[in-house]
Amino acid sequence: MPPVLRAPFVVEFPFTRSLGPVQSAFLTGLRERTVLGVRTVDGRVLVPPVEYDPVTADEIRDLVEVGATGTVTTWAWNEDPRPRQPLATPFAWVLVRLDGADTSLLHVLDAPGPDAVRTGMRVRARWAAERTGAITDIACFEPYEGEPAGPARPHSGRFPEPVTGIVAPARLDYTCTPGRAQSRHLAALEGRRTVGERCPSCRKVYVPPRGACPTCGVATEEQVEVGPRGTVTTFCIVNIKAKGLDIEVPYVYAHIALDGAGLALHGRIGGIPYDEVRMGLRVEPVWREGSRHPDHYRPSGEPDADYDTYKELL
Amino acid sequence: MTGPAGRGTTSRAHGRDIAVVAFAQTRHTRRTDDMSEVEMLMPVLHQVLSQTGLRTGDVGFTCSGSSDYLAGRAFSFTMALDGVGAWPPISESHVEMDGAWALYEAWVKLLTGESDTALVYAYGKSSPGELRDVLTRQLDPYYTAPLWPDSVALAALQAQALIDAGEADEPELAGVAARSRRDAAANPHAQLQGEVPRGRHLVRPLRVSDCPPIGDGAAAVVLAAGDRARELCERPAWIRGMDHRIEAHGLGVRDLTRSPSTRLAAEHAGLFERPVDTAELHAPFTSQELVLRRSLDLDARVRVNPSGGALAANPVMAAGLIRIGEAASRIHSGESDRALAHATSGPCLQHNLVAVLEGEAHAG
Ligand SMILES: [Zn+2]
C-alpha cells in the first residue's frame, strides 16, 4: 500500500445573482442606511423581507421602513471566529428584531464578552464605511441604550441607482486524497508504468482504475500493467485554444486503448500532422521530465491495428 | 395472529405494504484518507445485498443521497455508482440530500407498483473539507450565507432560544449527550462511544459534547413490497407511514424552540395513532433532541436513540438514513414492535422527515 497522497483543492466561485424587487429595495436601502421590511397579508412586518408570504404564499410588495435599532431575541457567543465571518475578534451571533419588525434578522454583535450579551438587550446597527448593497453593509450590531424607534412606516422602496444584483464570492478549501485504487495507479505512473486493475468477475481491465467494476459492482484488486503502446480508437480535432493551455491548435484529442486494457483512456496525439491521425493508429506515450502523466502520445511506427482488435473498446 | 392488517394505515391507503428488509452501515470514522467514496461505500452495498440474497441486477430501483459540496466535485454521485454495477443500465435516481429522502423517493416508487425491491444508499466524506464552512453554502445566499454562520453557530442560537424559554438548561443538554454516548458503547459502528467529556464551549451555549463528531461514513437499506419482503426478511419493518415537511428558510421567522414541520410530518405518517416504543431521532445537537422530543410528545416510555444517535456518529448525508436503518434493525431483531425514525436537513431542523415502522406480531 503506497503512502496516502494528498493535494490541496480549492473550489472558488463568484456567484452572480440577480435580485427581485423586494431584495433589491432591501439591499439598496442598506447602502443608504435605511432598513426596509415587507408587510405580510396578515399585517406582520418581515425583516429581512421576502417576496412571498411565508403563510399564504401570496406575492407581497408592501415595503415599510423599520429602525436600525432593535432587540436581541437570541444569541450565541462565538469565541473563535472563522476566517470569513464578519468580525475577527470574538463576537455574538444574534437574531435581532429591529424596532417596527415582527421577525428577526441574523447578524453579529460586537461585544466585549458573553457576560455583556443577553436576550432582550438593545442594539443598533453599525454601518460599514463602504457600502455596496449587501447584508455586510451592516458591519455588525453594537450595544445601544437609547429609545426604541417607532412603528414601521410605509416606504416606496425606490432609490436612485438601485442595486439589481450581487456577486456572492464563495471559496471552499479541500484536501483531496485519491483512494486506494487511484493511489496505486498514481504510484505506478511515477515509474512511468501504467497499471490497471482487473475485475475478478468479468476479467475486464480498468485503466485508470477506480476500485470498482461498474458492470459487476465488485472491488477490483488485481494489478495489471498495460501499454505502454496502444491504439487510437476514436478521436476529434480541437480548434479552440483552451485558456491557460500552451498547445497550438488544431490538435488531436483521442481515445487510446493501451495494449491489455479493457477500455480506452484519453490523451493528446502529437508527432503527426493533425489531419493524418486515424482510427487504428498505433501510438506510444511521450513523457516529459517532472510530470506524472504522459504529455502526449505519438505514432509508434507500427502498422495500423485491425478494426476487429479494438472495435469492442470504442 | 394479530397482524396490522385492516388497521388503516397511511401506506395501506396507497394499496401496498413496503418494508425495510435489510440495513448496513460503515464503522464511521473521523477520516478515511485511504479510501475513495466508492471504496468506502462498496462493502456496505455488498453487506446489505448479501443479507437479502439479492444481486444488483435483481434490484428494481436504486436511489442514493450525497452532496457535491462534501466531495468538492460536480456530479460526484456518478463515481459512487460504480459500486452498484450500473451496467447494463439500471433504474436509478439521486437526491442531493440525506439518504433518508432517497429512501422516501424509493418508497414512493414502490408504492406505484413499478418495482418490488429498491436499494437505497447514502454516503458522505466530511474529512476533505471544513464541514462547518461547507454547510454555510446551503443557506440563503442573499441575507445569510455572506455572513458565513456555521452549523454549530446556528444550532447554538437555537439552544439559547430553548434556554431562554425555560425549556432546557446546560445540565439537561449534558444529560442528552451522556445518555447518547453511553448507548453508543453498544454500537460497533459509532464514532464516539462511552464517556465523552463535556469540553469547552464551541459556540456558547453549546459545548463540544453537545455537538456531533465530524466523520466519514456510508449506509444502505433494501426496501421490498408485500410478499417479496416476507421472502427476503424474517421480520420485515413495515413502513406504516412516511412524510416530510419544511419550514421557512429565514431563521428569524421561525420559533426555534419548536419543530412544527416534524410535528406535521409525524401526524401525516400516523405516529399518533398508537404509541411507539423506540425513536431514532436525527438530532445532531443535544438541544435539537429536546426540541424534537417535545414536538413529538415523546415521554420517558419511549427509548430514544438506542444507537447513540447522531451525537455518536453523524456522517453527513447518511445520518438520516441510518436513523431509519437503526429503527428497522430493532424491529428485525424483535427489540421493537413500533418505531419512529426521523431525519433532518437544513439549519436548525428546517426540513424534517418522519417514518413509522412496525413489525408484525410474533406468531403464537
Ligand atoms: Zn466486472
Q: Do B72 and A172 touch (CB under 8 A)?
A: yes
Predicted local confidence at residue B5, as pLDDT: 38
pLDDT in tens, B238-297: 999 999 999 998 999 999 999 999 999 999 999 999 999 999 999 999 999 999 999 999
Residue B146 pLDDT > 50, yes or no?
yes
Which residues from chain B sit within 8 angstroms of residue A1, using beta carbons? 34
The cell for A254 is 483521442
Q: To the nearest whole number, what is the mean pLDDT of chain A?
A: 95
Predicted local confidence at residue A245, as pLDDT: 79
Of B42, B160, B253, the CB nearest to A74: B160
Closest CA–CA distance from residue A5 to any residue of chain B (Å): 9
Give the Cα separation of B111 and A97 in Å (integer). Answer: 46
Mean per-residue pLDDT for B93-99?
97
Provide the 10 A C-beta neighbour count for residue A94.
27
Mean per-residue pLDDT for B81-94?
90
Residue A57 pLDDT > 60, yes or no?
yes
| B141 part of contact set with chain A, CB < 8 Å | yes
**What is the C-alpha end-to-end distance of chain A, expressed in Å?**
32
What sections of chain B are H helices per DSSP? Answer: 37-52, 68-71, 77-80, 99-111, 131-134, 151-164, 170-184, 226-232, 260-268, 286-295, 319-332
Give the Cα separation of A267 and A237 in Å (integer). Answer: 12
pLDDT higher for B241 or B13?
A: B241
Percent of chain B with pLDDT over 70: 95
Predicted local confidence at residue B67, as pLDDT: 96
Residue B361 pLDDT > 90, yes or no?
no
pLDDT-derived band at B10 (thresholds 50, 70, 90) equals low
Distances (CA, A) of A34 to A28, A30, A104, B203, B309: 8, 5, 16, 31, 46
pLDDT-derived band at B13 (thresholds 50, 70, 90) equals low
pLDDT in tens, A32-51: 999 999 999 999 999 999 99
pLDDT in tens, B41-57: 999 999 999 999 998 88
The cell for B67 is 452532496
Residue B3 pLDDT > 80, yes or no?
no
Provide the 10 A C-beta neighbour count for residue B172.
14
Percent of chain B with pLDDT over 90: 87
Packing angle between helix B151-164 and helix B286-295, nearest 10 degrees? Answer: 50
Closest CA–CA distance from residue A35 to any residue of chain B (Å): 13
- DSSP readout, A117-152? --TT-EEEEEE-SS--SSGGGEEEEEE--SPPP-S-
Give the Cα separation of B90 and A93 in Å (integer). Answer: 47
Mean per-residue pLDDT for B142-150?
96
pLDDT-derived band at B25 (thresholds 50, 70, 90) equals very high
pLDDT in tens, B299-323: 999 999 999 999 999 999 999 999 9
At a CB cut-off of 8 Å and minimum separation 6, what does B268 contact?
B10, B241, B243, B245, B354
B243 contacts B32 by C-beta, under 8 angstroms: no
CB pairs under 8 A between A and B: 181
Q: Do A93 and B206 touch (CB under 8 A)?
A: no
Residue B360 pLDDT > 50, yes or no?
yes
Give the Cα separation of B18 and B22 in Å (integer). Answer: 12
Q: Do A172 and B137 touch (CB under 8 A)?
A: yes
Q: Do B164 and A176 touch (CB under 8 A)?
A: no
Residue B157 pLDDT > 60, yes or no?
yes
Q: How far does residue B120's CA lie from ligand 1's centre (Å)?
A: 22
Closest CA to A92 of A65, A62, A131, A119: A119
Counting Cβ atoms within 10 Å, is residue A127 exposed (0-12), middle (13-18) or buried (19+)? middle
Percent of chain A with pLDDT over 70: 99
pLDDT in tens, A144-180: 998 899 999 999 999 999 999 999 889 999 999 999 9
Q: Do B142 and A108 touch (CB under 8 A)?
A: no
B4 contacts B358 by C-beta, under 8 angstroms: yes
Predicted local confidence at residue B7, as pLDDT: 37
| B248 part of contact set with chain A, CB < 8 Å | yes
Predicted local confidence at residue A135, as pLDDT: 97
Predicted local confidence at residue A1, as pLDDT: 60
The cell for A171 is 471559496
A201: left (phi over 0), alpha (psi -120 to 50) or beta: alpha
**SS3 string of A73-88?**
EEEEEECCCCCCCCCC
pLDDT-derived band at B12 (thresholds 50, 70, 90) equals low
Torsion angles phi and psi, residue B336, rounded to 5 = -135, 145
pLDDT higher for B351 or B6?
A: B351
pLDDT in tens, A241-281: 888 878 889 999 999 999 999 999 999 999 999 999 999 99
Q: Do B161 and A217 touch (CB under 8 A)?
A: no
Q: How far does residue A89's CA lie from ligand 1's centre (Å)?
A: 56
The cell for B252 is 428569524
Give the Cα separation of B242 and A147 in Å (integer). Answer: 50
A254 contacts A267 by C-beta, under 8 angstroms: yes
Predicted local confidence at residue B8, as pLDDT: 35
Give the Cα separation of A70 and A144 in Å (integer). Answer: 9
Which residues from chain A sit within 8 angstroms of residue B129, using beta carbons? 172-175
Residue A53 pLDDT > 60, yes or no?
yes
A197 contacts A221 by C-beta, under 8 angstroms: yes
Predicted local confidence at residue B191, as pLDDT: 96
